[in-house]
């Protein structure tokens, strides 16, 4: 059994910190659920689905193996909330929106330095890292049979960018295919202080998408 050499008293102190950490993560995740549900309703999207990112999910049959990453048990380190799709009032295009919770940018921030997902000492320090929310909008013609959607690729492209720690980070990608646009917009989670601040961020998102992707997003009263 691979363990650090700690005394029983040291382990008692460490496990007290573990209990505190689990309770703190519960409160954090409750806040994230409330925030993303609020965003879904304020933007008028119809769905609310969740997809684990960063590492593998535990199988639907709850089978586990010894060689699984410890990250596989920690679900919302990086997590996608898929909010569904909408269409333009004149019916010529549709779009899908995901809101992605990135609890820690430490791995991505040190990617160029060779960070390894299972070697925490290779991550940027917690003080140098951030917790962010990433909005990912994919637009396609209404007649399209599929979207240009690459959630994992967008997470990596954004989070590994040297500019990702800007107050508001954005990428606008126009496809060679007519009518296809992807927009990524990210802000620090610390900016979602209250309902007023959250609404302002959503207004900025709506303007960014409507101006650059021919959407008709709006804030629901």
pLDDT tens-digit series, residues 45-93: 999 999 999 998 887 767 888 889 999 988 899 999 999 999 887 768 9
- Residue 4 is predicted with a pLDDT of 65
- Going by C-alpha positions, the residue among 81, 23, 85 that lies closest to residue 52 is 81
CB atoms under 10 Å from CB of 185, counted, come to 20
Q: Tell whether pTM > 0.75.
A: yes
- Residue 2 is predicted with a pLDDT of 52
- Residue 40 is predicted with a pLDDT of 98
109-152 residue pLDDT tens: 999 999 999 999 999 999 999 999 999 999 998 877 777 788 99
CB atoms under 10 Å from CB of 25, counted, come to 14
Count of alpha carbons within 13 angstroms of residue 113, beta-carbon side: 12
- Going by C-alpha positions, the residue among 95, 93, 59, 99 that lies closest to residue 76 is 99
Q: Which of 74-83, 149-158, 166-175, 194-203 has the lowest mean pLDDT?
A: 166-175
Q: Is 125 exposed, middle or buried (0-12, 13-18, 19+ CB in 10 A)?
A: exposed
95-114 residue pLDDT tens: 999 999 999 999 999 999 99
What SS3 state is found at 183?
A: strand
Q: Average pLDDT of the chain?
A: 92
**Does residue 155 carry a pLDDT above 60?**
yes
Pick the residue with more confidence: 5 or 53? Answer: 53
Report residue 3's pLDDT band, with 50, 70 and 90 as the boundaries: low
Between vectors from CA 151 to CA 150 and to CA 152, what angle results, nearest 5°? Answer: 95
- Secondary structure E strands in 70-142: 78-87, 93-102, 132-141
**Does residue 180 carry a pLDDT above 70?**
yes
- Residue 178 is predicted with a pLDDT of 80
25-39 residue pLDDT tens: 999 999 999 999 999
- Residue 25 is predicted with a pLDDT of 96
Sign of CA dihedral 101, 127, 71, 17: negative
CB atoms under 10 Å from CB of 81, counted, come to 24
Q: Is 172 exposed, middle or buried (0-12, 13-18, 19+ CB in 10 A)?
A: middle
CA-to-CA distance for 100 and 151, rounded, in angstroms?
A: 9
CA-to-CA distance for 86 and 191, rounded, in angstroms?
A: 26
């Amino acid at each position: 059994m691979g363990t650090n050499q700690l005394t029983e008293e040291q382990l008692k102190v460490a496990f007290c910190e573990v209990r505190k950490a689990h309770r703190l993560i519960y409160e954090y995740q409750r806040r994230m659920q409330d925030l993303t549900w609020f965003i879904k309703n304020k933007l008028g999207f119809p769905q609310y689905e969740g997809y684990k990112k960063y590492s593998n999910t535990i199988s639907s049959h709850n089978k586990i193996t010894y060689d699984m990453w410890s990250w596989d048990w920690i679900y919302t380190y990086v997590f996608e909330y898929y909010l569904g799709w909408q269409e333009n009032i004149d019916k010529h295009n549709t779009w899908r929106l995901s809101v992605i919770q990135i609890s820690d940018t430490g791995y991505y921030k040190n990617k160029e330095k060779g960070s390894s997902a299972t070697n925490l000492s290779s991550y940027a320090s917690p003080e140098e890292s951030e917790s962010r929310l990433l909005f990912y909008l994919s637009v396609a013609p209404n007649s399209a049979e599929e979207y240009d959607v690459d959630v994992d690729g967008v997470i990596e492209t954004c989070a590994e960018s040297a500019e990702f720690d800007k107050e508001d980070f954005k990428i606008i990608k126009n496809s060679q295919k007519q009518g296809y646009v992807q927009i990524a917009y990210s802000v620090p989670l610390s900016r979602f202080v209250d309902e007023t601040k959250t609404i302002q961020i959503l207004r900025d998102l709506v303007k960014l998408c409507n101006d650059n992707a021919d959407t008709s997003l709006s804030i629901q009263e």
